[in-house]
Amino acid sequence: MTIAILYRDELKEYDFGPGHPFRGDRYQIFPKFLAERLPPDNNYQIIKANWATDEDLLRICQRDYINFTKRYYRAANLGLAEEGDFFQYQALDNRPIGMPGKVEEAARLVVGQAKMAADLVQTGKYQKAVSIGGGLHHAKTATGEGFCLYNDVAFTATYLMERYHLKKIMILDTDAHAGNGTAEYFYSDPRVLFVDMHQDPGTIYPGTGFAGEIGSGEGIGKTINIPLPVNAGNDSYRYVFEHIIEPVTKEFQPEIIIRNGGSDPHFNDGLTSLGLTVAGFKMIGEKVRKMSEVCGGKVIDLVASGYHRGVLPYAWMAMISGLADFKVEIEEPGAIPASLRIDTHMPETIKLVAEIKALHKEYWRCFQD
């Protein structure tokens, strides 16, 4: 299966500066790793997208936010930024350190890639499209946070509904952090099923995404939060897919699946405390590929997160390989700790799944057994 991979070198400008956790070198590491492990051939096509316009961004952002973000980060790149209204529009973790890259322009490129991915899949040119740099799921309509300026996940779903009139979109967020920005966009929208599996929000930023957050109004039951216990590993993820995510996907019958999340659920990430191995990331890709059979194989995959440079390319490659069914073996880049070779958190995960089913059984037949 040939998939589209959206990437261009300018993504490296998504860099908040020396000493910040989010640096642009991640976008140089992965393409090199991919090319060394797997030739394009009939596997993938690298495609360059254009930058999003203000008109594009206005689908998901307020104009004053766009204007401030553009002005501030372009000045920061030149060493001229003034604090001014920074904290009206941005959280502290989005504050650049030293001399950042052209962050706002790169953020526009990420949204531009999301737009092109949607067009490529919806017009039938590709079944699956992967946007390298995508998944900026903390950004909101008028606030940037969590290293995210413009929420390309929200843009993708919004664009698909407005441009292609889709009425059933599934967003699966597998990032270690809850997608609080994405959740806000669609919390009361019945057209979007938002399934978010992440580390227990009582132990990690942004502190949202508890199981009891299930949507509101017409969208009640369409937000499914799965707050995994600290150090939950491959078995916990598999159990959640088999008992929550796969059944609800089959019942919802989405017209397309949007998945976002990178390598930060890996046990050696550094900023998070989950227990996935590289094999677990491949499993996620395989599960999404199988789930997408309900929508003709249509998947848009958005990949950016991960904070251990030695792990990131292995996990990204494993996940994409599972999604596209690439015949390539991706090894674990280091030893798996003995404490994680068996997922000792399965009892907690089983209890969590039962709790989620009880919370949602009124809204989903598959949870009523």
pTM: 0.97
Alpha-helical (H) ranges within 10-128 are 26-37, 54-57, 63-77, 86-89, 103-122
Nearest to 208 by CA among 246, 190, 181, 235: 181
Q: How far is CA 173 from the centre of its chain?
A: 5
As a whole-number percent, the residues of the chain with pLDDT over 90 amount to 94
Which amino acid is it at 160?
L
Q: In what order do the strands lie in the sheet with 128-132?
A: 44-47, 3-6, 128-132, 299-303, 256-260, 169-173, 192-199, 223-228
290: Cα within 13 Å, side-chain hemisphere: 12
Taking the domains of the chain in order of start, what are their residue ranges?
3-367
pLDDT band at 369 (very low <50, low <70, confident <90, very high): confident
Residue 266 DSSP symbol: B
pLDDT in tens, 277-313: 999 999 999 999 999 999 999 999 999 999 999 999 9
- The answer to whether the beta carbons of residues 367 and 359 sit under 8 Å apart is no
Is residue 339's pLDDT more than 90?
Answer: no
Q: Which residues pair with 213 in a beta bridge?
A: none
- Return the ∠ at Cα 110 (arms to 106 and 115), rounded to 5°: 140
Q: What does CATH list as the number for 3-367?
A: 3.40.800.20
State residue 312 phi and psi, 5-degree precision: -50, -55
Over residues 141-154, mean pLDDT: 98
pLDDT at 69: 97
pLDDT at 176: 98
Over residues 26-37, mean pLDDT: 92
pLDDT at 340: 86
Query: Residue 87, exposed/middle/buried by CB under 10 A (0-12, 13-18, 19+)?
Result: exposed
357: Cα within 13 Å, side-chain hemisphere: 18
State residue 194 phi and psi, 5-degree precision: -110, 110
pLDDT at 52: 98
Catalytic position from the list 138, 243, 266, 308: 138
Asked if residue 206 has a cis previous peptide bond (ω within 30° of 0), the answer is yes
- The answer to whether the beta carbons of residues 274 and 266 sit under 8 Å apart is yes
Q: Which residues pair with 197 in a beta bridge?
A: 226
Catalytic, 138? Answer yes
Three-state secondary structure call for residue 149:
coil
Q: Is 359 left (phi over 0), alpha (psi -120 to 50) or beta?
A: alpha
pLDDT at 82: 79
